[in-house]
Amino acid sequence: MSSNYRRCLQPLLLLVLALSSGSCAHRGRTLLLTGRSAEHAEKFHLVDVRKEIRGIDIDLRYATANNVAGHPLYPADMPCLLRSETAAKLKQAEAILRAQGYGLRIWDAYRPPEAQEILHQASGKSRMFLAPDAGWSRHCGGIALDLTLVDKHGHEQRMPTGFDQDLAHSQTNYQGSDPVVRRNLQVLQAAMKQAGFIQLEAEWWHFDDAAYLRNPQPIIYGWELALPVMSPP
């Protein structure tokens, strides 16, 4: 870990303690942006998805220990953020799916670069996460999403793999024999494409805002939004 990275994390860890001490009533939910973080997010054209799309299902996996790192990288009340234009497209995709009796569950949206570096280290040789020296993920600019399909009751539908799992079988071009998985994947892909997203071929759960594929947005560090990011244990 670089000395610059450690210096960035030190003030963030203090914010973790402060946030955790006052947020017990919000455990298991994603907090709506308030105060200083909301002001900073607006400067970077980021919006809170939970506020923009009422009732959308959000389960930020990196705010839990249920991820490839094995420990939380975000505070438990991490807000779900996207660029405003990307959030508008997501709202359209959700509406398309709701009309069919489905919905979306978001596993990740904006991802602080501090967390991206930890994920790269935790993933080892899997190449699941970009190395910082090779370029930052579009998640770090708030223009990418990891998500899955749910029914109207919020039950996850069968997909080729779990989240961040089995890269050998996680491609968007499903080669398995399960017709239910094939149909679920097609329903999800069609809605996201219609709304203006393009899918990462290696990961069925990852979608990028197509408008920014050739117009990458600057990365936004967690400390720039006054958001805490946890360090490795």
* Catalytic site positions: 203
**Buried b vs exposed e over 103-118: b needs ≥16 C-beta within 10 Å?**
bbbbbbbbbbbbbbbb
The burial of 207, by beta-carbon neighbours within 10 Å (0-12 exposed, 13-18 middle, 19 or more buried), is given as: buried
- What is the Cα–Cα distance from 15 to 181, expressed in whole angstroms? 42
The residue count of the chain comes to: 233
In the block, residue with structure tokens 């489905």:
102
Tokens encoding 160: 């080729």
- H helix intervals, the chain: 3-21, 35-43, 49-52, 84-98, 113-122, 179-195
